[in-house]
Amino acid sequence: MTTVDTPPAAAPPRKAATVTRPGDRIFANLSRGSGILLLIVMAAIAVFLTVRAVHAISQDHGNFLTTFEWTPSLNPPVFGIAVLAYGTVISSIIAMVIAVPIALGIALFITHYAPRRLGGPIAYVIDLLAAVPSIVYGLWGALFLVPHLRGLNLWLDDYLSWTLIFHKSDPNSAPRSLFTVGILLAIMILPIITNVSREVINQVPKMHQEAALALGATRWEVIRLSVLPFARSGIISASMLGLGRALGETMAVATVLSASPVLSAHILDPVGGTFSQNIVAKFGEADEFGRDALIASGLVLFVITLLVNGTARLIIARRKEYSGANA
């Protein structure tokens, strides 16, 4: 009986050692350092706001969350953010309700309906609107928008006052209200939401749209079934960017709004205020303790902004299957 010698098993091929180039190491370290620096800056801002806010809130003789007044210069000091928080949230909601559908419609028109020679100039004009300074919007709102909204305010009061939201307590008062602020903010955030949404919609794979067309879908069905699901997370991100500007807008709101420490459900009345408007209006005349009180209100706005962005990230994370990275 002859035995057959089996050849020894070949050793598995060794992986080639990866060589990292010096430029790659430098770029990786710079990127890592930039991320760490950003976290350090955010933490420093949070610590600064918290320390100054705690000092002010500890001496507040009112309830910081529910008091309407803002009088930190009195003895004893009394101040609260109820009116400011309400005005900031309501004006931002009005802006988003107006701006998001219009911005999405403009983005879809430029990308899917307008001919190239028309869509290009429209996109260019929208890009220019995004570069207009806030004070210019504020002056335009005070000198043009406010006088021309008087008729709309009266019409809303005549036909929709039964909703209480559009009831106007004094029909002769100037429309320097949260409703006017919301319209102005909608115009200001419209270019941001439109531009980002347009770029996201342009990233939708053409094969998705061509497949829908091949199955007999109309242009609107292609947008509804192929474009919007893919671009949903990007559109949400664009909306959150616009909301961030609406929450923190200062000069335009301060120029248009007739601020007062009154919380009213009637958005046509010239009352209320916002965090940013209150800070810019009171900072110059405030003493050191008054500045601490304003910083405390800034901390609340800081937290609201973080919560809004965190919520947006959670919504986007739930729609990862439609992200461009997974296409």
The DSSP string of 168-226 is -S-TTS---SHHHHHHHHHHHHHHHHHHHHHHHHHTS-HHHHHHHHHTT--HHHHIIII
DSSP 215-277: TT--HHHHIIIIIHHHHHHHHHHHHHHHHHHHHH--HHHHHH---BS---S-TTSS-B--HHH
Specify the residue for token string 């007044």: 69
pLDDT over threshold 50, residue 325: no
Question: Which H helix or E strand runs over 70?
Answer: strand 70-71
Beta bridge mates, 260: 272
Confidence of residue 324 (pLDDT cuts 50, 70, 90): very low
Beta bridge mates, 78: 71
End-to-end CA distance of the chain: 62
3-state secondary structure of 102: helix
pLDDT over threshold 50, residue 326: no
| pLDDT the model gives residue 190 | 92
pLDDT over threshold 70, residue 319: no
User: Average pLDDT, whole number, for the chain?
Assistant: 85
Say if residue 315 is exposed, middle or buried (CB neighbours under 10 Å; 0-12, 13-18, 19+): middle
Confidence of residue 19 (pLDDT cuts 50, 70, 90): low
| pLDDT the model gives residue 108 | 92
pLDDT over threshold 80, residue 229: yes
| pLDDT the model gives residue 220 | 86
| pLDDT the model gives residue 36 | 94
Token duo for residue 292:
């601490």
Please tell me the least confidently modeled range out of 27-31, 180-184, 309-313: 309-313
Beta bridge mates, 191: none
Task: Name the phi and psi angles at 272, rounded to 5.
Answer: 100, -170
Specify the residue for token string 């800056």: 41
pLDDT over threshold 60, residue 247: yes
Mean local confidence (pLDDT), 92-108:
93
Specify the residue for token string 């739930």: 318
Is 263 within 8 Å of 86 (Cβ atoms)?
yes
Longest CA pairwise span in the chain (Å) = 117
What span, in angstroms and rounded, lies between the C-alpha atoms of 226 and 208? Answer: 6
| pLDDT the model gives residue 2 | 53
Q: Tell me which of 31 and 9 has the higher pLDDT.
A: 31
3-state secondary structure of 71: strand
% of residues, the chain, pLDDT over 70: 91
pLDDT over threshold 70, residue 327: no
Query: How many angstroms from the chain centroid is the CA of residue 115?
Result: 30
At residue 151, what is the residue type?
A: G
Instruction: Give ∠ CA 64-46-80 in degrees, rounded to 5.
Output: 10
| pLDDT the model gives residue 37 | 94
* pLDDT single digits (tens) 261-274: 888 888 998 888 88
* Count of beta carbons in the 10 Å neighbourhood of residue 129: 15
Residue of 101, 244, 97, 299 lying closest to 178 (CA atoms):
97
Q: Tell me which of 13 and 136 has the higher pLDDT.
A: 136
* pLDDT single digits (tens) 49-69: 999 999 899 898 888 888 888
Mean local confidence (pLDDT), 5-29:
68
pTM (predicted TM-score): 0.85
| Cis check: omega of the bond before 175, within 30 degrees of 0 | no
| pLDDT the model gives residue 11 | 57
| pLDDT the model gives residue 16 | 52
Nearest-Å Rg of the Cα atoms of the chain is 27
* Count of beta carbons in the 10 Å neighbourhood of residue 6: 6
Contacts of 317 (CB under 8 A, 6+ apart): none
Confidence of residue 208 (pLDDT cuts 50, 70, 90): confident
What span, in angstroms and rounded, lies between the C-alpha atoms of 63 and 81? Answer: 9
